[in-house]
Every structure is written in structure tokens, then in C-alpha cells.
A = this chain, B = another copy of it.
Amino acid sequence: MKKVKWGIIGIGWFGEYHGDGLAGLPNAEIHSLCTRNETRLAEVGAKFGVDRLYTDYEEMLADPDLDVVSITTMWDQHTAPTLAAINAGKHVFLEKPMASTVEDCHAIVDAANASDKFLMVGHIVRFNPRYAAAKREIEAGKIGKIVSIYARRNVPVSIGAAVLPKIGPIIGDGVHDTDIMLWYTGAEIVTAYAQTLNVHGHKYPDIGWTMYRFDTGAIGVCENIWCMPDHKGYFPDERMEIIGTEGGIYLQETYPALAVVNGDGSYTPDPTYWPEIRPGVRGGALAEELNYFLNCILENKPPAVITPEESLAAVTACLAAEKSAATDRTVRIDEMG
């Protein structure tokens, strides 16, 4: 069985999850790891039994055996390693959001298009079986033309506290739903209006509400609240409501789909995104998107589920929303460059 050699650049919690996902794929081999934190590097290297450990990604990318890398660095440190990996002739699986500026996104898209290797951004929600099923229903014309979409993606205050010093909820989570709205409508966003509220005094505001207008006239609304109570019954609080001229679609991850209730309160263990299906192995949509990209490489077919241009469009819209919230006015997408 041919094994594709996979490296990971950026070993925070999600870089490690990439490793946990790869660990369950028979055709993949975790080949090498890279992070500036040497202690972390040794620790995660030991966990995955990997001894090609780097603090400098240029050195790692110089290894001709390496086929593909995951880029799981901080969201505003995506561009340099991504361009380096493309230039080194590697396939790239890049975490969302593509980059932190529209300019950087363009640079990545251009580099990817000039390469004969593949680049795919990890828009994991497209690999959630329920969102994929909704896409098939929409494509089959079951709800007509989309006129309104509402999305919610809320997380507890303790997660907010960890993340809000680094990224805000609109670009951090709203990018998922913005991408899904673009995917479902097949339309372009014309304007963004947003409001934010800083409840806990972190660098970024805890709450972002965004209203998009699409070029078809459709309206899209994203709710992103990163300060839900920790004793939580209904998290991940992820919902979508898609209204078309002929019907609607409703999605939700939590109870009653799945809930555990006990002395600690109630919660929905993750069955969908990155469940630990056995010690050290994560399945779900994360494994699915990694496996999809793996098979694109093995069969030498470009990824069709999402293109770099689509990832760029989602970032552009979210940054327009951030700009709207900062300036208290509607922002046109074509202002964003």
C-alpha cells in the first residue's frame, strides 16, 4: 500500500489534531513536524513516533521525500510557509482562514495556480455530512433559488478567552459560514454590515453579527458569539437555516441529535468534526478532508470540493465585515481589493 509522506508545519492544538487525523489513514504517513517550540516539538514527535523534527520549515521543505504539508500555524502566519511550501514543490493543505489580508490571499492563490501541485484550504464544514447533504439537495433544486441564509456558530467563554487575544469571531468562525453561504448560493457577496461587542475586554470583541447582501439579492446573516456560558447544554451551537423560493433547509449539530446529561450538566460530544475514535486517532470531517486531499494526490486529480479562489472570497467578505464593524458603515466587497 503506497504511503503518502505528510509533514505538519505549526504544532498547536490543531496541528496535533492533523496528526491524529492522519494517524487513522492507512495510506498516509506522518513524515515530519515543524514548530519553533522545541519542547512541544519533541513531545509531539514522540507521540507520533516521528523523528524528522524541525524548528525551521525551510529545512523541512528541503527534504525531497516529503509529498505534502499541513500548514497549521497561527492564522496571521499562514502566508510565508504556504508560499515556501508551494515553491518547494509540495502539495499544501492549509488551515482556514486562508490568510489575514486580502493581499496575502491573492499571493497564495497566484502561487497555487502557478504550481503543478495542489493547494486546498481546510473548509471542514463542507465535509460535515449534513452540510454536504444540504448541498446535494440545493443542487438538485429542492428548495429553488436561495433568498435568505442564517448561520449560528457560538462557543463557550473559556474557548473565547483562549482565542480572543489572537483572532475575532467573524474571521475566526464566521469564515466557515460565509464560505458555506457562497457555496450554497453560487453567488457573490456585494456588501457586508456588521456589529461587534466586546464583553470581556480581550483584544478582539466576543460577539460579531454580520449581514451580507448577495448579488442575487439574497441576504445572509452570521451570528458568532464566543462567550457562551461554560456550563453548556447546546454547544457546539452550530445551526443553519437556508430559505429558498421553493423550500428551506435546517441544520443543527447538538441535542436532540446527540446529548449527554449528567452531574456536570449536559453536552454534545463531537461526533462530526474531529472525534477521537480511538486513543490518538481522530475521525470525522477532519479525517475526511485529509483523506480526500490524500486521494487527490494519489490519483493526481485536483481537489474539486473547494478551490483557492473560493477560500479567498470567504476571507474577503469576512474582512469586509470586520471593517464594517470598525467603521460603523456598510462596506462594499469591491472596496476590499
Contacts and interface: CB of A to CB of B under 8 A. Distances in A.
**What is the interface of chain A mostly: helix, strand, loop, or mixed?**
mixed
Contacts of A129: 271-272, 275, 283-284
A269 interface: yes
A264 to B, nearest CB: 7
Contacts of A233: 233, 255, 259, 261, 265-266
Interface residues of A, number: 82
Interface in A192-224: 193, 195, 197, 199, 206-207, 209, 211, 213, 217-219, 221, 223
A257 B207 contact: no
Contacts of A328: 330
Copies per complex of this chain:
4
Interface string A274-296: 01110000011000000000010
Given A256-B252, A258-B130, A266-B265, A147 B26 contact: no
Contact of A250 (B231, B258, B263): B258
Interface of A: 1-2, 26-27, 129-130, 132-134, 136-137, 142-144, 147-148, 150, 152, 154, 193, 195, 197, 199, 206-207, 209, 211, 213, 217-219, 221, 223, 225, 227-234, 239, 241, 243-253, 255-266, 269-272, 275-277, 283-284, 295, 298-299, 328-330
